[in-house]
Amino acid sequence: MKTNRFRLFTIVCTAVLLFALSTNALFAQGKGKKGGGDGGDGGGGDPPSAPVEYQLTLFGAADQTTVVFNMNGSGTVVGYTVDTNNVQNAMVWQAGSGVVNLNHVANVPEGWVLTSARGINESGQIAGTAQNLSTSQLVAFRYDPTLGDAELMQTFNDDDHPAAWNDPINEAGDVVYYQNSTSVSGPDVIYQCRVFVDTADGQLFDVLVDGSWATAINDRRQVVGTGAFRLSLGATPENTYEVEYFDDLGEIQNINNSGYFPSSTQRKKRGSYLLSAIRYSTSVEVLQQDDSVGVAINSVTHNSNGELTSKGDVIGSISSSNGAFLHMDEYGYFDLDDLITGLPADLDQWLLSDYVFAKHITDRDATGFGTICGWISTADGERGFVLSPVPSP
């Protein structure tokens, strides 16, 4: 009887081993993908491999913090650095030029320092936040490289008026910024903010909304923010405006020119809240079930017949691994870990990092993919990154 049991155990173990080997072989064929072929709920189907790899470029000194928020199609990246003396400065980065302190480039009003660059458009105009060296007040700024001046946005009291968090300037040069306020209604604290849009043609919009802060503006002067809200402005401050609230969604950090924005929903399961990345225009479209949060989106795309092929590629964070993902309508859901290539030392830092923060994706280039930027958090500090699509070998 002992011999029979041993033989049965050997047969079972062999079967399990063969199954594991066949599963690994199938997974290797499908490397570069997590989730379903329809890009929806993360189950079923096996989407094709991406026709590109993402070339990883890390930048920023090992002894300082480098945080990246945005970039334009010319490859100019913006964000901020914090040096060993804990001094924070807005920065720009380009391949070949390295990190440049924006305060050394722009004409900054006396008594102020540009502390964070949050957005850049295709004309090279930059929007971000400046700080008063005496009072520490935070105020949004707009920098135009053709003029050389950093222009401070209008304020209405001594409170902070920082730039929108993620994408505060559109192609026209309109800048969105905000001022926090709170009120108490019975046992509840109500978070509100005044949303300001300073337009390139000299207009100023001022709208009070429910929410903590503004995050982005598109070319249609639609503003999104935490709360979550989408504010659609008229042609002038005197026109009517519309505010939509989305009580069931998480933070809204970005919006494309067609009105699509990424976010997340959550559901409770066995005492935990599971997050699902979504894309929204007029209804919720789940991109990945229970593991992701949508952060940024690029433009919609059409084929040669004018037919819609993508509602906007979405990037965001992966909850379970603290990594990042890319979702494309044609291919589905990718873990960025499976798409990157680069120098071994840079890859080691990426894969060993505590978190990957993917913050912006440009419109698609000739490869059919957009460039991605953000930063990683490591034991030695934060470093900026750019992921550039290159055809797969």
Q: Write the CB contacts of 330 (distance below 8 Å, at least 6 apart in sequence).
A: 309, 310
Q: Write the CB contacts of 232 (distance below 8 Å, at least 6 apart in sequence).
A: 220, 221, 222, 241, 242, 243, 244
pTM: 0.86
- Give the residue from 129, 62, 53 showing the smallest Cα distance to 91: 129
Name the one residue in this structure whose structure tokens are 């994706």.
Answer: 361
CB atoms within 10 A of CB 167: 27
Domains located in the chain, CATH noted = 31-391 (2.130.10.150)
- Mind listing the pLDDT tens digit of every residue in the chain (393 residues)? 333 333 333 333 433 333 333 333 333 333 333 333 334 444 445 544 889 999 999 999 877 899 999 999 999 999 999 988 899 999 999 998 999 999 999 999 999 999 999 999 999 999 999 999 999 999 999 999 999 999 999 999 999 999 999 999 999 999 999 998 766 566 677 789 999 999 999 999 999 999 889 999 999 999 999 989 999 999 899 888 999 999 899 999 999 999 999 999 987 766 677 899 999 999 999 999 878 999 999 999 998 889 999 999 999 999 889 999 999 999 999 999 999 999 999 999 999 999 999 999 999 999 999 999 999 998 888 999 999 999 988
